[in-house]
Every structure is written in C-alpha cells, then in structure tokens.
Amino acid sequence: MDARESRRVRGRWDGDKDRMSVHQEPVSEALRRLGRPPEPEATGGRTKQELYERARELDIPRRSAMTKGELARAIARREG
C-alpha cells in the first residue's frame, strides 16, 4: 500500500449506526445531548448563583464570564 492509498476514504458513510465506531454518535443525538441542561449531579444540585458565590469565596478569576458548568468545573479543580 502506498501513501496515497492510506489517505483514501474507504467508501461512503450511509448513516448505518452499526458501522460507526464506539466513539461516534449520530449528529442528531449529539445535538440533542448538547441542548439538554446539565444533570443536577454534575453541579452538585447548586444553582448558578450559588456556584458563583462559591467561586467568589475561592477567588476564581473571570467567574462572571463563566457558564454554570464552567463554574462547577473551576470550583471542583480549586477544591481539589
């Protein structure tokens, strides 16, 4: 096999879920998942305001520009 063949696309994807790798998902599923609000467990069940207040206590920079999920991750990293 030469270099040109290794880069060639092998066939055309026809939407067959069975041929998708473990790490792929249909675009419609990804969009549906991304459109959902985060699960309460992901933020500890706290509101964005509660997360913001905790971030202020921890002196996390740029907290006012963060989303709820970003605040939760920043707090988790800071708390260790």
Report the distance separating Cα 21 and Cα 43, nearest Å: 30
Tokens read off for 63: 């907290």
Q: Using pLDDT thresholds of 50, 70 and 90, give the confidence band for residue 75.
A: very high
pLDDT tens by residue, 28-74: 777 777 776 656 666 568 999 999 999 999 999 999 999 999 999 99
User: What count of Cα atoms within 13 Å lies in the side-chain half-sphere of residue 10?
Assistant: 4
What are the domain boundaries of the chain? 40-80
The pTM of the full predicted model, rounded to 2 decimals, is 0.48
